[in-house]
């Protein structure tokens, strides 16, 4: 499974990369630090999963979701944010996010979703 990480914090990208790299079925195919790079990377690299922050320079996660949702193909979108407000969650889910997690308390849920997605993919491929 191919994963793209989108966050303006290099420390967070490195932490996610370290955690996700422990899962043998996952390949980190790229990282992006702003909205436009995220949109371009998703369209070019075609990840199976994108982990997306909301607040970034030069745009935001809402714009990424809305742009990618217009495409015929789009990856599973996991929003991981420090802004877990109910209105942001609603907007993200309405804009095409599959999951919405709080960085401060739900970081591990990203790994749980990835493991579940791997398991479901393996079942479908067998």
The 8-class DSSP code of residue 46 comes to: -
Residue 8: HSE in the Cβ half-sphere, 13 Å Cα cutoff: 13
User: Per residue in 60-106, pLDDT tens?
Assistant: 999 999 999 988 888 999 999 999 999 999 999 999 999 999 999 99
pLDDT-derived band at 113 (thresholds 50, 70, 90) equals very high
pLDDT-derived band at 125 (thresholds 50, 70, 90) equals low
- Say if residues 47 and 75 touch (Cβ distance below 8 Å): yes
Domain ranges of the chain: 2-125
User: Per residue in 24-58, pLDDT tens?
Assistant: 899 999 999 999 999 999 999 999 999 999 999 88
Distance CA 73, CA 70 (A): 9
Nearest CA to 55 among 74, 18, 83, 76?
83
Q: What number does CATH give the domain 2-125? A: 3.40.50.2300
Residue with tokens 């217009």: 70
């Amino acid at each position: 499974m191919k994963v793209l990480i989108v966050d303006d914090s290099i420390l967070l990208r490195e932490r996610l990369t370290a955690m996700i790299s422990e899962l043998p079925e996952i390949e980190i195919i790229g990282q992006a630090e702003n909205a436009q790079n995220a949109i371009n990377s998703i369209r070019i690299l075609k990840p199976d999963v994108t982990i997306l922050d909301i607040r970034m320079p030069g745009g935001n996660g809402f714009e990424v979701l809305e742009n990618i949702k217009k495409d015929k193909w789009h990856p599973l979108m996991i929003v991981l944010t420090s802004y877990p407000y109910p209105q942001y969650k609603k907007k993200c889910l309405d804009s095409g996010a599959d999951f919405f997690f709080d960085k401060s308390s739900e970081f591990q849920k990203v790994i749980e979703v990835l493991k579940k997605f791997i398991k479901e993919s393996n079942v479908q491929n067998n």
